Amino acid sequence: MKPFSSMTMKFANIWFVLVVILLCGKKHFGTRLGNSSHEAHICPGCSRLTLKVEFTSTVVEHEYIVAFNGYFTAKARSKFISSALKSSDIENWRIVPRNNPASDYPSDFEVIQINEKQKDGVLTLEDHPNIKRVTPQRKVFRSLKFTESDPMLHCNETRWTQKWQSSRPLRRASLSLGSGFWHATGRHSSRRLLRAIPRQVAQTLQADVLWQMGYTGAGVRVAVFDTGLSEKHPHFKNVKERTNWTNERTLDDGLGHGTFVAGVIASMRECQGFAPNAELHIFRVFTNNQVSYTSWFLDAFNYAILKKIDVLNLSIGGPDFMDHPFVDKVWELTANNVIMVSAIGNDGPLYGTLNNPADQMDVIGVGGIDFEDNIARFSSRGMTTWELPGGYGRVKPDIVTYGSGVRGSGMKGGCRSLSGTSVASPVVAGAVTLLVSTVQKREMVNPASMKQALIASARRLPGVNMFEQGHGKLDLLRAYQILNSYKPQASLSPSYIDLTECPYMWPYCSQPIYYGGMPTIVNVTILNGMGVTGRIVDKPDWQPYLPQNGDNIEVAFSYSPVLWPWSGYLAISVSVAKKAASWEGIAQGHVMITVSSPAENESKNGAEQTSTVKLPIKVKIIPTPPRSKRVLWDQYHNLRYPPGYFPRDNLRMKNDPLDWNGDHIHTNFRDMYQHLRSMGYFVEVLGSPFTCFDASQYVNYASGCSIAKFPEDGIVIAQTFKDQGLEVLKQETAVIENVPILGLYQVPSEGGGRIVLYGDSNCLDDSHRQKDCFWLLDSLLQYTSYGVTPPSLSHSENRQQPPSGAGYSLPERMEGNHLHRYSKVLEAHLGDPKPRSLPACPHLSWAKPQPLNETAPSNLWKHQKLLSIDLDKVALPSFRQNRPQVRPLSPGESGAWDIPGGIMPGRYNQDVGQTIPVFAFLGAMVVLAFFVVQINKAKSRPKRRKPRVKRPQLMQQVHPLKTPSV
């Protein structure tokens, strides 16, 4: 036994030393894991660079995009333009040549250059019957600067930072950022040691389960619109086509962003993508200098339609839904069954910052989270601002997924880690590509059905509202279950309205409703999986639950007359009935709508398929609060700026003169709203002229500029300011003292109210607030509500005599302005424009209730699922512990550097979860080594050799004890 004991001791000592080395050197071990196949400190190709990104956007002078009503040959397009310009004075013009793969096909637009500044002449183009719209050509410039970064940064990890020209430039830009933008939760701080372990996002989302079943994206055409891809990149085996849409003569990626995005979708080695066998179509739409034009995108989109692309990833975005040709083409793409996935934007945590085209109803908009399921700080938030100021925005993003420290393909090979919603977008695009390949009946897959499957299967994140997470976190396997038991139908987003459910239903749940208040508007998206075109049959029905006091609320509807493409809206206005003016409690009911679409089978002429959807509604009603606690926010503006855009307060931003966050209490004035609610005020929104509400019921808050005239018995506070208008117009600096900025006035008549006029709201605006003035707002509301004048104002040293208006030069409009084209109060007239008549006030048509004497469902979220889908009856695929080998390992590459397979269904990718098997193994080795050493010590003692002959007797005593007794 001695040789055996000696051998065992040596074996135990070797294991013990190995375990100690592994445990003590876990930091170095983690670094190796993070570096794919190279040592952290010696890899020559290791990337430790910080990438600084600067964006600018301009309108190309003298260039215009002429959009036609159909697709025409180049010769026909030229004839149309020539014919349209004959009646104008424009003579010096030409068609800009476009040399790209789409040039050989008919097109629906042309780019022309007009060297004369005659806007009126350009507008005559739109008079031609075949010309739909004329818009300026836009140029986007993205500057990239690489600098040496922190030497402690993990190998092949690039940090992205951004410098904005203004708080919101009009741009289409790559949406990548650095890890520093993520929320710090304070939980599980020990997980920071594990950040070096690579996150194979495909296996983390359990794509390997579908790989084992033989689904790898084969037969699915996926397009990547980005910076290109090298021809012989080792990570890709099925690049079907590479096309260049820029003015550079190269197809290669000079930056690496496009390569990374393509790798997340379809890489077959090292940092594996979701669908390694998918057909990759690479569209190079940015130059190496990061320049792009709207016309490049339009040509590339047309070519994607010709190539019958199935899935299109767009990791770029911007707020410019003024860019009509771009938006029109996005709609045309989805109408042609292209599933578009787009990043929602990196403009968080400010609300109302959704990027286009991800904010479109027919596009899958993707937000970002980290691997601990925290919403990315930089991920843009809802609501959409298209519908403002008259209505209310929609819920976006649609879903969220991992976008922090995700590994993807490097420009020449190897792996790198990036963060941003441009990382989250290809994660979803790759998942969608893989899901499409699992569906046997491909005709069932369309932009609506895919979005329906994704949002119905998403896992809701706790403590996060719907404008941050949409419907929740991507769940690949549950989406697979739904798609493979899906029947064409309509659905709603959100699928229910619960004004009592916080925090998910914020801001609706933050304030109860009451009689006499402005109606609460909920904008619901209708998804129509039955066809690209549809309609709502008859009208929606309102069915209140009598046992749940549903007859205490009134409901009105407005909705899309046509659902196209694949979607539409249903705006629901909820108000309290007069009989509930003094009542408090919960009221419930539901809305029923029926959607119809033409039958798919063309042999059935005139046949339709229908789908009926139920929308549960639950609200909390309280007695009408006193006037002193009701604040009315004026959302109505006189000028018709593009929807969601309002003049910027900072006039120095000449290249970006319009705010784009909507100036709404739930977007860039969210903090102010939250503050007022915490102080006990009830805030309502006015989306109509001042003539359309009863001012005696509210405290009204509005802001403007300096005060030119004020009642002489009022209180006026002055301050010293710089004249921004002079700086903008004449580039001159002037400091003006004693500028009247704040006025307080009590109407002397009996029952007269109080007025406060304040000249600047910057200190309340989240988008560019440096220091808040909520204290001042509280003081002003105390004055208007109770007549209490704050001592800090009544005895201020800046108090002055109210201005009488004498000697004040009022603002003048520029000569030749066309303000009447955009104004709601001015109309065109020879000479000076004259005021328009006041618009008619909107009047809601309340739906006739159809009461139900039955009990409402208690849990609206769990109750609402897609029709015909029962996840309990759809079995998950069997899962083997060995990981499928999708591609062969390259020479020298270790499979241990990939995330191990065998992720249990239901385990969702915490960093600790990924490393538990490693530490469990090491711990087991320590215990094993300890017991082996103890056994060998016991065997080596001479005094224990003597009773060895008695061991059989001992065993005989032990065996009976194992026999169960009765």
Cα distance between residue 348 and residue 424, in whole Å: 15
Q: Identity (one letter) of the amino acid at 948?
A: R
- Which residue in this structure is represented by tokens 């818009």? 135
Q: Whose CA is closest to 643, among 381, 354, 345?
A: 354
All residues at 6 or more sequence positions from 77 whose CB lies less than 8 Å from its CB, including other chains: 66, 68, 95, 107, 110
Neighbours of 486 (CB within 10 A): 22
- Identified catalytic residue from 208, 226, 766, 898: 226
Cα distance between residue 114 and residue 61, in whole Å: 9
- Which residue in this structure is represented by tokens 């590479």? 242
* DSSP one-letter code for 877: P
Q: What would the two tokens of residue 250 be?
A: 């190269």
Q: What are phi and psi of 559, to 5 degrees?
A: -155, 165
- Which residue in this structure is represented by tokens 């800046």? 798
- Identified catalytic residue from 154, 233, 257, 664: 257
Neighbours of 771 (CB within 10 A): 6
- Identified catalytic residue from 379, 422, 491, 597: 422
User: What number of CA atoms fall less than 13 Å from residue 38's CA on the CB side?
Assistant: 16
Q: Identity (one letter) of the amino acid at 485?
A: S
End-to-end CA distance of the chain: 42
Cα distance between residue 662 and residue 384, in whole Å: 9
With vertex at residue 422, the alpha carbon angle to CA 273 and CA 353, rounded to the nearest 5 degrees, is 150
Q: Is 422 a catalytic residue?
A: yes
The CA-based dihedral angle spanning residues 377, 383, 385, 387, taken in that order and rounded to the nearest 10 degrees: 170
Neighbours of 584 (CB within 10 A): 11
How does 863-874 read in b/e, with b if 16+ C-beta sit within 10 Å? ebebeebeeeee
How does 272-291 read in b/e, with b if 16+ C-beta sit within 10 Å? bbbbbbbbbbbbbbbbbebb
Sign of the dihedral defined by the CA atoms of residues 772, 643, 396, 518, in that order: positive
Whether the ω angle into residue 565 lies within 30 degrees of 0, i.e. cis, is: yes
Q: Which helix (H) or strand (E) holds 21?
A: helix 2-24
Show the beta-strand stretches assigned E in 73-179: 93-95, 107-114, 131-148, 159-164, 173-174
Q: Is 582 a catalytic residue?
A: no
Q: Whose CA is closest to 106, among 64, 67, 128, 76?
A: 76
Neighbours of 673 (CB within 10 A): 23
All residues at 6 or more sequence positions from 815 whose CB lies less than 8 Å from its CB, including other chains: none
Neighbours of 606 (CB within 10 A): 6
Residues with a catalytic annotation lie at 226, 257, 422
